[in-house]
Amino acid sequence: MMKLPNGQTLCYGIFGYPVKHSLSPVFQSFAFNQKNINAIYVPFEVKPEDLKDAVKGAKALSIKGLNITIPHKESILGFVDEVSEEVEKIGSCNTLKFEDNTIKAYNTDYIGFKRALEEKTTLQGKKALVLGAGGTSKAIIYALTNAGAKVYLYNRTIEKALKLKEIFNIEVVEKIEDVLQYVDIIVNTTSVGLKDDDKPLFDYDKIAAHHVVFDVIYKDTLLIKKAKEKGAVGINGLPMLIYQGLESFKIWTGVDAFDLAPQIFELLTSYKP
């Protein structure tokens, strides 16, 4: 039976620009429904120049929690009252909680990534090659280094990688091939692979069976398809998306909904907007 909103319905949502393709409203609404929480989850398209007003508006409207996505993950920090320890270090945030007149910022991307990767491998003492040095990369490097893995970072623009070296205890590599065979884990955090005709980041035929390959893109990219073909473990970004969302859900509601992950996985795999 569909539950209709009423006067006590709480409001959650996501700020992004664009936000039309976000899968968060689909599965967060499903989770609220399954856990019998009287709440709705709304996509809000917020232009960068309107972000400050949007946050003020959200507070005024008693919105309880928000996910924050591209391109606001860093700029949002100028409008919050408190940041969690990981946000302090990562410098970007994907979750806000509104409580007692304060706005607190969290980052659940790193937890989502860690959980998705740890389903397939341990991290302590492992060597990981991270491709890309943007916002997502920082959350992933934080997760890997915190879990005791050694990170080798490659970025097309080396200056950006060198900046991250100043924050995290990592190595920067100029050529992917220099460390490819030596590492256990390969993580793509760039947008390369989103389009089927994107030029590969390196020769994917060099992936070996001992590798665990992770791509933050929500579908099986050429990288992931090749990894599986070579007998390596290939993980796409869908489990990470689900886990970061369920972690946000827990921060907002105090309810652990991780038992819903398999159903959400099914829902999103077959989801056609």
Q: Does 107 bind ligand ATR (CB under 6 A)?
A: no
The binder of ligand ATR chosen from 36, 101, 124, 157 (CB under 6 A): 157
The binder of ligand ATR chosen from 191, 206, 259, 263 (CB under 6 A): 191
User: Choosing from 73, 89, 97, 114, which is the catalytic residue?
Assistant: 73
CA distance 165 to 117: 23
What is the total count of residues that contact ligand ATR (CB under 6 A)? Answer: 14
Cα–Cα nearest to 109, from 66, 143, 132? 143
SS3 assignment, position 207? coil
- Looking at residues 122 to 151 of the shown chain, list those that interact with ligand ATR (rule: CB under 6 A): 132-137
What is the number of alpha carbons within 13 Å of residue 73 lying toward its C-beta? 20
* CB-nearer residue toward ligand ATR: 137 or 244: 137
The binder of ligand ATR chosen from 47, 156, 206, 210 (CB under 6 A): 156
Active site residue 150: no
CA distance 157 to 155: 5
Q: Does 189 bind ligand ATR (CB under 6 A)?
A: yes
CA distance 140 to 142: 5
Smallest distance from ligand ATR to CB 138, Å: 8
Check whether the bond before 71 is cis (ω within 30° of 0): yes
* One-letter amino acid of 249: F
Binding site for ligand ATR (CB under 6 A): 132-137, 155-157, 160, 189-192
